[in-house]
Structure 1
Amino acid sequence: MDGTAIIEQLLTSEGRADPYPLYARAHELGTAVSAGPGTLLALGHGTADKVLRTAGFGVATAEMQAGLAPEFAEHSSLALFGRSILERNAPDHARVRSLIASVFTARRVAALRPAVEAAVAGLLDEMAEAGSDGSAVDFMDAFAFRLPVGVICELLGVPARDRYRFRGLAGDLTVALEFVQDLAELGAADAAADELAGYFTELAAQRLAHPQDDLVTDLARIAAEDAERLSAQELLANLVLLLVAGFETTTNLLGNGLALLFRHPDVMAGLRTGTLAPAGFTDEVLRYDSPVQLTTRIALTDGLAVDDLPAPPGSMVLVMLGAANHDPARHHRPEVFDPSRTGSQPLSFGGGPHYCLGSQLARLEAEVAVPALLDRFPRLTPGGVPTRRDRLVLRGYETLPVTVR
């Protein structure tokens, strides 16, 4: 099996359901391998980290993608992500990211802990009531989605009455971040992009007329006063990105973590007794079953390489985050779930200029939520067969039924 075959297998339903055996086979090929003309795989932990941090490797911008596929511009989901910091390089990326970054400082995130604790307690109360008769409760819908969407919406300034609608819209929109074989499959993603852009157009106008202490107000004011700092299209694209990214990864982190606890009762016991630290558990979930499995980079300059493989300008590098987190050269027995590991430094939040702005917030939410969940429900057990989303890039559960009595 070569690099091309690895990718082909990962794109099958079986490969998406459990990519880790394929990663193990890929590591036998090396830390970096070719996957066909113009495509390289960064598999090793150090290799992936270096690509993410090397300035000559950037993201594929909307202009680049439209040059390869003219129909790209016809899809509002692709165009929306293309106007966000997710798919912009310097200097645009740094210009817009700096406007957003003040919300995610370590001090600001730490100050959110009481609000996160209160939100967790309220959601656990609702789970207890819903499952008081012994019926199953879907953890993904009742908790894993509602906690992070509530937190990010508070930061943005999205009214509580609107939050219920976002899980389905985000699920449709993020198909545009997967490896889409046929752009015609993006109909639902385009519709979601249009609806979310329309929603934030109205909300930004409301905040300009009636300012509040939230991020939508701050960014809308900047866009209205100085389009060179932030254009109207950039405003909408990045508000949608912040909303979706603000809960998508954390929702998957919480779901993946609870599923692992059911498979490892010793770890659940250790968290309950305090012999295992919540931070260590979170790190190991991120490493073992990363909510984000891969990202891509494009070689922008001459003289680049991925390990010893040349990467001429235009080369695509698939940075296999999930594989890097299972690199046997970095992690002893990577196939073993072990929250007592130290120094693993999972690459699940990326690295370099595009390192996830909300990583500290995601960790805070998980480290508050998981101990509180286990403390509130001493007999928490699976309540049915969970279902995974059929995705490769964003890995998580669609449903995860539990019983709480």
Structure 2
Amino acid sequence: MDVAEALAVLMSPQGRVDPYPVYERLRGHGPVVQAGPNMYVVTGYAEADELLRDARVQVLDDHLRDDLLPAWRDSPAVSSIARSMLRTNPPDHSRMRRLAAGAFTPRRIAAMRDVVTAQADELVDMMAAAGRDGTPVDFMAEFAYPLPVGVICALLGVPTADRPLFRRWAADLTGILEPEITPAELAVADAGATELRGYFTELVAARRRRPADDLTTALVQAHDAGDRLSGEELLANLVILLVAGFETTTNLLGNGLAVLLAHPGAADVLRRHPEHAPAYVDELLRFDSPVQLTTRTSSETVRVGGAELVAGSWILLLLGAANRDPRRYPTPERFDPWRAQLAPLSFGAGPHYCLGAGLARLEAQVAVPLLLRRLPGLAPAGTPRRRSRLTLRGYDSLPVTVGEPAPAADHGAPAGTAPGTP
């Protein structure tokens, strides 16, 4: 299978459901391969990491976007992404990121552990009540979505009653992040963006009338202070902070639970030794990354992995493939939380390293062992359904039976030294 054929399969419904065999086909051509005129695909970990950190390798900016998509400003979805820190380069990216970074410092994230634990316990109680008679419960709808959306909405100051609105709007908008999108899919993404922008327009007005101790108020005040944040940037970054704040973590929780249900020995070790959650979460991120790819363009000629990427080249960085690079991770197809922990590229690297990575890790480190301890009988029920997405990999639904729950007071699982490899 040549590179063009492999890419065609990767973009197909079959490839989106299970991209890993296609990644290995592409890897067979080398860690950096040319896929067309000035277009390159990267599967190697070292090469992807190097490119993500290279100042000459950038996200698509307005200048290039004007050449490729002259009418992009007419699309609410494209303009929402374009005006956010996700799709801007320094110095604008640095300026916007700095304004939001205060909410994601290690100290502030650590202080949220008790809040995350309390929310996770409440959701487990609700799952247990819904499935007490053996009825299957959709883990995505009942836990994987409401936990992270509750956390990011608390940071942004979004009222609890409004949180159920965002799942569909965000799912629609994130279609714009796919490497290929049809006009019909773009229309859906535009509708989601319009709803989100309308919501935050009202929230911004409310925070001007009555400031609060939340990130929305901080960004509104930065805008109103003068030259630090434009009106478009304010709305775009509120939208992207909300969407990115739960989409990745929702998929991490769903993908992670599916992996652990398929590896009951490893799940049992974590159930008895929750102190090993950080290693487990890093391995879950590596094994089935919630973010599978990102794109960049080169502003100058860059040499990497034996290839010469001329100025103006398009670069498809397959993070999911890089996380299974055997040069970095021996036997990468094996789920092994006891391997030497080398940070996966699931949250990117360099200037665009995910601002909320620490928060996502905390939520998973708290939630996954808590789920396993409180629902020791948790088991698959029925057929899970994957989303037809490649960039953001996750489940639409993941049905489970919950079994007999343990009480919330059972948090204090005895610490100890984990046994050998499960």
Question: Could you say which TM-score interval applies, normalised by the shorter chain?
Answer: over 0.9
Query: What residue is the counterpart of 1:265 in the other structure?
Result: 264
Using the TM superposition, give the Cα deviation of residue 388 of structure 1 relative to its aligned residue in structure 2, in angstroms: 0.3
Q: How does 1:100-179 map to 2 (within 5 A)?
A: 100-179=100-179
Query: What residue is the counterpart of 2:99 in the other structure?
Result: 99
Q: Deviations over 1:168-189 (max 9, x none)?
A: 1111000011123433431111
Query: What residue is the counterpart of 2:239 in the other structure?
Result: 240
Residue 20 of structure 1 pairs with residue 20 of structure 2: yes
Secondary structure of 1:357's match? coil
Q: Given that residues 304 and 310 in structure 1 are in contact (C-alpha distance below 8 angstroms), is that contact kept between their aligned partners in structure 2?
A: yes
The answer for unaligned runs of 5 or more in structure 2 is: 404-422
Q: Which amino acid aligns with 1:66?
A: D
Q: 2:184, 2:136 → 1: CA distance?
A: 37
Secondary structure of 1:277's match? helix
Q: 1:364, 1:14 → 2: CA distance?
A: 32
Q: 1:11, 1:159 → 2: CA distance?
A: 38
Query: What residue is the counterpart of 2:55 in the other structure?
Result: 55
Using the TM superposition, give the Cα deviation of residue 285 of structure 1 relative to its aligned residue in structure 2, in angstroms: 0.9
Secondary structure of 1:29's match? coil
Q: How does 1:218-367 map to 2 (within 5 A)?
A: 218-226=218-226, 228-274=227-273, 277-301=276-300, 303-367=301-365
Cα RMSD after superposing both structures: 1.2
Q: 1:222, 1:35 → 2: CA distance?
A: 43
Give the length in aligned residue pairs.
403
Q: 2:90, 2:220 → 1: CA distance?
A: 22
Using the TM superposition, give the Cα deviation of residue 115 of structure 1 relative to its aligned residue in structure 2, in angstroms: 0.6
Q: 2:272, 2:309 → 1: CA distance?
A: 50
The answer for unaligned runs of 5 or more in structure 1 is: none
Q: Given that residues 44 and 321 in structure 2 are in contact (C-alpha distance below 8 angstroms), is that contact kept between their aligned partners in structure 1?
A: yes
Secondary structure of 1:90's match? coil
Q: Given that residues 43 and 321 in structure 2 are in contact (C-alpha distance below 8 angstroms), is that contact kept between their aligned partners in structure 1?
A: yes
Using the TM superposition, give the Cα deviation of residue 71 of structure 1 relative to its aligned residue in structure 2, in angstroms: 3.1
Using the TM superposition, give the Cα deviation of residue 308 of structure 1 relative to its aligned residue in structure 2, in angstroms: 2.4
Q: 2:6, 2:260 → 1: CA distance?
A: 29
Using the TM superposition, give the Cα deviation of residue 276 of structure 1 relative to its aligned residue in structure 2, in angstroms: 7.7
Q: How does 1:26-37 map to 2 (within 5 A)?
A: 26-37=26-37
Query: What residue is the counterpart of 1:84 in the other structure?
Result: 84
Q: Given that residues 276 and 340 in structure 1 are in contact (C-alpha distance below 8 angstroms), is that contact kept between their aligned partners in structure 2?
A: no
Q: Which amino acid aligns with 2:261?
A: F
Using the TM superposition, give the Cα deviation of residue 9 of structure 1 relative to its aligned residue in structure 2, in angstroms: 1.3
Deviates more, 1:82-91 or 1:58-67: 58-67
Q: Given that residues 130 and 137 in structure 1 are in contact (C-alpha distance below 8 angstroms), is that contact kept between their aligned partners in structure 2?
A: yes
Moved over 6 A (4+): none
Q: Given that residues 279 and 341 in structure 2 are in contact (C-alpha distance below 8 angstroms), is that contact kept between their aligned partners in structure 1?
A: no
Secondary structure of 2:368's match? helix
Using the TM superposition, give the Cα deviation of residue 368 of structure 1 relative to its aligned residue in structure 2, in angstroms: 0.4
Q: Deviations over 1:218-267 (max 9, x none)?
A: 101111121x2100110000000000000000000000011011111111
Q: Deviations over 1:290-342 (max 9, x none)?
A: 000000111012x3123221212210111110000010111111111111112
Q: Given that residues 3 and 36 in structure 1 are in contact (C-alpha distance below 8 angstroms), is that contact kept between their aligned partners in structure 2?
A: no
Secondary structure of 1:314's match? coil
Using the TM superposition, give the Cα deviation of residue 63 of structure 1 relative to its aligned residue in structure 2, in angstroms: 3.7
Q: 1:198, 1:279 → 2: CA distance?
A: 38
Deviates more, 1:107-116 or 1:58-67: 58-67
Using the TM superposition, give the Cα deviation of residue 5 of structure 1 relative to its aligned residue in structure 2, in angstroms: 2.2
Query: What residue is the counterpart of 1:384 in the other structure?
Result: 382
Q: Given that residues 45 and 323 in structure 2 are in contact (C-alpha distance below 8 angstroms), is that contact kept between their aligned partners in structure 1?
A: yes
Query: What residue is the counterpart of 1:399 in the other structure?
Result: 397
Q: Deviations over 1:54-100 (max 9, x none)?
A: 00000012442231122323211011100000100011000110000
Q: Which amino acid aligns with 1:255?
A: G
Q: Given that residues 2 and 35 in structure 1 are in contact (C-alpha distance below 8 angstroms), is that contact kept between their aligned partners in structure 2?
A: no
Query: What residue is the counterpart of 2:5 in the other structure?
Result: 5
Q: Which amino acid aligns with 1:11?
A: M
Q: 2:359, 2:185 → 1: CA distance?
A: 33
Q: 1:4, 1:348 → 2: CA distance?
A: 25
**Distance change in 2, residues 1:27/1:180 (3 Å):** closer
Q: 1:343, 1:160 → 2: CA distance?
A: 37
Q: Which amino acid aligns with 1:356?
A: C
Using the TM superposition, give the Cα deviation of residue 142 of structure 1 relative to its aligned residue in structure 2, in angstroms: 0.4
Q: TM-score, normalised by structure 1?
A: 0.97
Deviates more, 1:94-103 or 1:274-283: 274-283
Q: How does 1:176-191 map to 2 (within 5 A)?
A: 176-191=176-191
Secondary structure of 1:99's match? helix
Taking every aligned residue pair, what percent have the same amino acid on both sides?
52
Q: 1:85, 1:385 → 2: CA distance?
A: 37
Secondary structure of 2:333's match? coil
Q: How does 1:65-80 map to 2 (within 5 A)?
A: 65-80=65-80
Deviates more, 1:83-92 or 1:340-349: 340-349
